Amino acid sequence: MLEAEMAFMKDLDQVMDVAEASIRHTLQDSRLRDALYANLPRSSTETLPVEKYLGNKWPRVTYTQAVEDIQGGLGADSIQWGNSISAEQERWIARQYGHGLPVFVTDYPTSLKPFYMRRNSSPNDDPARSTVACFDLLVPEIGELAGGSLREERLEQLQEAVVKHGLDPDQYKWYTELRRFGTTPHGGFGVGFERYISWVGGWENIRECIPAPRWKGRSIL
C-alpha cells in the first residue's frame, strides 16, 4: 500500500485532486512505459495502454447516485442503500461512468467506513443515511484501486464515532487525545501497489503482480 497524509485539507475534492494528480504523474513517467511496454509489439502510431487515462478529468459520482444507477442497470434488488458495492458492481460503475477512465465514488454510508473518517453534515441530515467524506477510486477490470477520506478532527464527533462502531473508547484514548490537544483539518489516501501494477500492466490476475509470490508449500515474506 502506498499512502499519503496531508494537513490543512478542508475539502474532499482537494484530497481527490492530489490522488488523481499523483497517479497521473506516475503514468506520464517514461521509465514506467519503458519497463512495461518495451517489448510490446506495436506500430509507431499505436496508443499505449496508459495514455488513454491521461486525457479528460476522471469522473466523480456519489455513492447514493451510484446505487440508484446500479439498481436501474442491474436490477432493483441488486443493491440497497447502505450495502457494500460488490467487486462486480465496482467494475460496472467504472465502465458506466468512466468509459475506460478511473471513477471516484464518494460519500459512502458511515456504517461502511472506519470510525476516523469525517462525517458529512447537512441541514436535513438523516442519521439513518449519514455519510462520511471519503472516496474509492474505481478502475475498469480491477475495481477499487485507491481509497481515501478527510479525517475526523473534531473531538466530540470522533469519540461518538468510536462508540458507534462498537470500539472500546479506552483502547482509542491515545488517538482521541490527539484531537483534544490540537490538530488541523487533514486527509489522506492509499493506493494498492499490486492493484496499480495489475491495472497499468494489463495483468488480469493480481497474484502475478506480487513481488514475493506465494503458493502451497512456499511462503516467503
Q: Which residue has the higher pLDDT, 36 or 172?
A: 172
Residue 8 has pLDDT above 90, yes or no: yes
Q: How much is the pLDDT for 49?
A: 61
Q: Which residue has the higher pLDDT, 147 or 212?
A: 147
| pLDDT-derived band at 45, boundaries 50, 70, 90 | very low
User: Whole-prediction pTM value?
Assistant: 0.86
Q: How much is the pLDDT for 14?
A: 96
Q: How much is the pLDDT for 101?
A: 87
Q: What percent of the chain has pLDDT over 70?
A: 88
| pLDDT-derived band at 141, boundaries 50, 70, 90 | confident
Q: How much is the CA Rg of the chain, to the nearest whole Å?
A: 20
Q: Report the C-alpha gap between 159 and 154 in whole angstroms.
A: 9
Lookup: cell for 100: 475506460
Report, as an integer, the average pLDDT of 125-130: 77
Q: Answer whether 191's CB lies under 8 Å from 1's CB.
A: yes
The per-residue pLDDT of the chain, averaged, comes to: 86
Q: Dihedral of CA 119/122/125/131: which sign?
A: negative
Report, as an integer, the average pLDDT of 115-132: 82
Query: What is the DSSP track for the chain?
Result: -EEEEEES---HHHHHHHHHHHHHHHHT-HHHHHHHHTT----TTPPPGGGGGGSSPPPEEEHHHHHHHHHHHH-TTS--TTSPPPHHHHHHHIIIIITTS-EEEE--BGGGS-TTBPBP--TT--GGG-BBSEEEEEETTTEEEEEEEEE---HHHHHHHHHHTT--GGGGHHHHHHHHT----EEEEEE-HHHHHHHHHT-S-GGGG-SS--BTTB---
Lookup: cell for 118: 469525517
Residue 161 has pLDDT above 90, yes or no: yes
| pLDDT-derived band at 81, boundaries 50, 70, 90 | very high
Cell 499505436, residue located? 46
pLDDT in tens, 183-218: 899 999 999 988 988 888 777 788 778 777 667 777
